[in-house]
Amino acid sequence: MTTPTPPLKPAGRGRNLELPEHLKSYKGVWVFIEHDRGQVHSVSWELMGEARKLADKLGVQVAGVVMGGPDEKLDDFAKEAYAYGADSCYVMRDPVLKGYRNEPFTKGMTDLVNQYQPEILLLGATTMGRDLAGSVATTLGTGLTADCTELNIDGTTRALAATRPTFGGSLLCTIMTLAYRPQMATMRPRTAPMPRRDDSRTGSITEATLGMVETDIVTKLLDFIPDANRNTVNLAYADVIVSGGKGLKNPDNFKLVWDLARVLGAEVGATRPVVQAGWVEAERQVGQTGKTVRPKLYIAAGISGAIQHRVGMESSDVIVAINTDANAPIFDFAHFGIVGNALQVLPALTKAFEARLAKQIRKVA
């Protein structure tokens, strides 16, 4: 006897896509303010600018969440948060919060969320932010969209519309958490612009307590040892970047990228295939699985412009593309395009810039 195959259910049927009544009271947009050794990570302020835009569309307020030790400059961080767009800050001070550890920070954040009920919570997609976001979302039983390239509010549902690359960076998808709160998202540094600072803005502080003791925490912070040998590549914050792709054919030809970068005082970037081929170190990869950059000038040589690379550099002020293929995708979003062989164009640009800069130096002298 053959058992009949049950009919397939349409995708999405049976899922709860309506926000339950008890979650409709969640209001406001929060930003986790990440800091270390007395400095706030700039991604926190970038997110504060995005939070301000989202909150204005929803007609709600923006709040920063600052956690740390009793002797850290948490009030100063809160004042900075106001300058970048926050209306208020939740400040949690406790000896066990000095130096990041997942357990106390997760408890602190989830306690704050459960008590004050924000509808959106944003964190930087840094080592700390990714670690904290995952554990907070899991503890709260809510959705988390990681490594977003764009944040918006859906006009119909008023839900957070978080866009991120998927399928290895070949597509962009927009994800909404319709039936759970808070809606959580992480965004990588330099994905969003730095908002204008307004030091005349002020806000309120809500003090909160953690209620943990050191013996409750499994992980112990013994010491901080800086990596004296760490790579000094600062790709994300470079003003000028010259990047090369596999269109340069081999690592010897990639030296032409270095030559132009040296003349311009630029950083060198690369695509994922170039890094995978071992032509340059991983710290120089631009794209979804590498760095996100926002330079004033981005020169792309022998790069086709696949989405995986595009999402990491499309916010550059000026993009100059060099490619032999006039139909390469990169020409769709580059500000200036040169259809030609990068092996000939790069040396010509290097020579032209050298001559121009030498002329400027002579005028100054």
Annotation: binding site: 271-272, 285-289, 302-309, 323
Beta-sheet strand order (sheet of 144-148)? 144-148, 183-187, 120-124, 29-32, 62-68, 88-93, 204-208
Cα(80)–Cα(197) distance, integer angstroms? 9
The token pair at 117 is 């009920």
3-state secondary structure of 24: coil
Output the known binding site for FAD.
271-272, 285-289, 302-309, 323
Looking at the chain, the number of H-run helices and the number of E-run strands are 8, 17
- Which residues, 6 or more positions from 100, have their beta carbon under 8 angstroms from its beta carbon? 36, 128, 132
CB 185 within 8 A of CB 150: no
Cα(130)–Cα(173) distance, integer angstroms? 20
- Which residues, 6 or more positions from 268, have their beta carbon under 8 angstroms from its beta carbon? 241, 242, 243, 244, 257, 258, 261, 280, 284
3-state secondary structure of 253: helix
